[in-house]
Chains A and B, each alone.
Chain A
Amino acid sequence: MSSSPPSGVPRLEERKARGPVRRKGIGPAPSGWLDPRGRAIGSWAFAVNRVTGLGLVFYLYLHLAVLSLLLGGESSWNDFLELATTTVFLLLDVLLLFGILFHALNGVRVALVGSGIVPHRQKALFWAGTVIGTIALVYGAIHILGDA
């Protein structure tokens, strides 16, 4: 067995200097999910799914904070209703609806593929979800902004 490693493989001294191996395998590091440039559409869907998920967790706590205004009685709730019926706020509602629809429909795709129910239809499910989500988003946006 040769004492020198194959081309491209670091020598023992170099490996010691780098420290312990934190991760093995091919492809980008798991924490690189936020930058899916140059990768397949599934990586983009994964990144957007996580961003919308984190946004929805933030919204969960914002929603609880807003609903806490109800504890202050009718006047504090009416103050919020005035703000909530402005066009800017309603546009944010449409953005929220996009986040919910994308996360939900992509989640269905991931569950169906990951559980082995439909393991080879990732792309078809993605585009089906895109069509359904777009129709639902347009309907919801018209409903939300209809009287604005």
Chain B
Amino acid sequence: MHPGGRSTRVWWWTVGTGAALLVLLTVHMVAHHFVVEDVGGLRSYEQVLEYISTPVIFTLEAFFLLTVTIHGLLGVRAVLFDMDLGRAAKRRIDVGLWVLGVATVAYGFFLIGTLASRA
């Protein structure tokens, strides 16, 4: 790993998004599951809509989705890059993970946006 090189930048992105996830995941787990008294900490349909339509929660969940997608796909990239692949294969993986990441975040935003609009 060369200081200032691409590997270093990817490592710091992984660490940075991981640190953000510690906060966002704690908020998500506590606010979305652990304060709910029902078995398994799950909300009813109406409760979910009410929850996701709160502006602060909506923003946090959107940021959570973005952060967890970046962190997760960087992890997948690290595992795949450990398989002694050539430069062209690594390039294809990078492009594929970018497409998957953008599609994931776009669908997630569509999902929470649609649900928030139903409240």
Residues of A within 8 A of B (CB): 22-23, 29-31, 33, 50, 53-54, 56-57, 60-61, 64, 67-68, 70-71, 73-74, 77-78, 81, 84-85, 89-90, 93, 100, 104, 107-108, 111, 114-115, 143-144, 147-148
Q: Are B68 and A71 in contact (CB under 8 A)?
A: no
Partner among A29, A60, A81 whose Cβ is within 8 Å of the Cβ of B68? A60
Which chain B residues border A23 with CB–CB below 8 Å? 84
* Chain A residues with CB below 8 A from B75, complex form: 50, 53-54, 57
Of A29, A73, A115, A148, which one neighbours B45 at CB under 8 angstroms? A73
- Residues B41 and A144 in contact, CB atoms below 8 Å apart: yes
Closest residue of chain B to A107 (Cβ to Cβ) is B18
CB distance from A109 to the nearest CB of B (A): 11
Residues of B within 8 A of A100 (CB): 25
- Work out how many contacts link A and B, with CB atoms closer than 8 A: 81
Q: Which among A29, A89, A111 has the greatest number of chain B C-beta atoms within 10 A? A: A111
Q: Which residues of B contact A61 (CB under 8 A)?
A: 104
Instruction: State A56–B75 Cα separation when bound (angstroms).
Output: 10
Please tell me which one of the listed residues B18, B40, B76, B111 contacts residue A93 in the complex, with CB atoms under 8 A apart: B40
- 30 pairs, A vs B, C-beta closer than 8 Å: A30-B83, A31-B82, A31-B84, A33-B82, A53-B72, A54-B76, A56-B72, A57-B75, A60-B72, A61-B104, A67-B111, A68-B111, A70-B45, A70-B48, A71-B114, A77-B44, A77-B45, A84-B42, A85-B39, A85-B42, A89-B40, A90-B39, A100-B25, A104-B22, A104-B25, A107-B18, A108-B22, A111-B15, A143-B34, A143-B41
* Best-buried of B15, B45, B76 by chain A (most CB within 10 Å): B45
Q: Which residues of B contact A74 (CB under 8 A)?
A: 45-46
A57 to B14, CA, bound (A): 14
Bound-state Cα–Cα, A51 to B41, Å? 26
Interface size class on chain B is: 20 to 34
The secondary-structure label for the interface of chain A is helix
List 8 A-B pairs, minimum CB-CB distance, nearest first: A74-B45, A30-B82, A57-B72, A53-B75, A77-B45, A111-B15, A147-B39, A85-B39
B115 CB contacts on chain A under 8 angstroms = 70-71
Q: Is the CB of A30 within 8 A of B68?
A: no
**A74 and chain B: residue at smallest CB distance:** B45
